[in-house]
C-alpha cells in the first residue's frame, strides 16, 4: 500500500471516530463532547427541527438534544452503510442513522428483572445523515455541516412529548 492510500485510510478512520464520538456524546448527554466536535459556527439542515441555517453549537443543543434527550431513559444512535469521501483536508460522510429513543411511562411499570425496553414507550427514527468535515491544524476533525433527514419513524412519536415534559422538569 502506498503512502497516499494509507493517508486516505487514516483520515477516513479519524472522520469515522469523530462521528462516533458525536453519537456517543448524544447518548451520554455529554454536551461538551458534542460542541468540541462542531465548528463554530456550523451549518445545520434538519427538517424535523425546522432548521436550515448557520448556528452556534450551543444553539443546536438548545434546539434539540438538550430539549429532548434528558427526558429519555435510554437512547442509542447507531450508524451503518457509511461512505466517506476525502479530498485533501475535507471529508464528506453519508450514513444511515437509527436513532432509538426510549422512555419509561412510570417507575411503577418496571421490575428489577425486566429489561427496560419491554416496558417503555419508544420512537425510533431512521435517517439519512450527512456530515461535512474539515481537518484542523492539531490533526482533529470538525463537523462544519450536518444534514439530517428522517425517512421513517417507528413506535410512538408521543414518546418525544413525554420526554420533553420530563426534561422540562429536570434541573440542568
- Write down the pLDDT at residue 79: 97
- Strand 38-46, strand 141-155: pairing: parallel
Helix (H) or strand (E) segment spanning residue 170: none
Which pTM was predicted? 0.91
- Write down the pLDDT at residue 104: 85
Torsion of CA 124, 114, 66, 32, to 10 degrees: -110
CA distance linking residue 156 with residue 150, whole number of Å: 15
For the chain (172 residues), the mean pLDDT of every run of 10, in chain order, is 89 97 98 98 94 97 94 96 96 98 70 60 96 91 98 94 88 66
Are the C-beta atoms of 132 and 91 separated by less than 8 Å? yes
- Write down the pLDDT at residue 139: 80
Are the C-beta atoms of 108 and 98 separated by less than 8 Å? no
CA distance linking residue 145 with residue 134, whole number of Å: 10
- Write down the pLDDT at residue 155: 95
Helix (H) or strand (E) segment spanning residue 40: strand 38-46
Helix (H) or strand (E) segment spanning residue 116: none
Q: Take residue 31 and report the three cell numbers written for it.
A: 454536551
CA distance linking residue 70 with residue 132, whole number of Å: 27
CA distance linking residue 43 with residue 133, whole number of Å: 11
Amino acid at each position: 500500500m502506498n503512502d497516499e492510500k494509507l493517508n486516505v485510510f487514516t483520515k477516513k478512520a479519524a472522520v469515522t471516530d469523530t462521528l462516533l464520538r458525536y453519537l456517543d456524546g448524544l447518548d451520554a448527554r455529554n454536551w461538551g463532547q458534542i460542541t468540541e466536535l462542531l465548528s463554530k459556527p456550523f451549518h445545520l439542515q434538519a427538517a424535523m427541527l425546522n432548521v436550515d441555517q448557520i448556528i452556534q453549537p450551543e444553539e443546536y443543543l438548545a434546539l434539540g438534544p438538550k430539549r429532548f434527550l434528558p427526558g429519555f431513559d435510554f437512547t442509542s444512535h447507531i450508524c451503518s452503510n457509511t461512505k466517506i469521501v476525502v479530498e485533501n483536508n475535507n471529508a464528506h460522510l453519508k450514513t444511515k442513522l437509527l436513532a432509538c429513543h426510549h422512555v419509561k411511562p412510570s417507575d411503577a411499570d418496571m421490575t428489577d428483572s425486566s429489561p427496560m425496553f419491554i416496558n417503555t414507550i419508544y420512537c425510533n427514527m431512521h435517517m439519512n445523515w450527512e456530515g461535512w468535515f474539515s481537518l484542523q491544524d492539531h490533526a482533529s476533525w470538525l463537523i462544519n455541516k450536518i444534514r439530517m433527514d428522517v425517512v421513517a419513524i417507528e413506535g410512538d412519536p408521543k414518546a418525544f412529548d413525554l420526554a420533553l415534559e420530563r426534561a422540562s422538569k429536570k434541573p440542568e
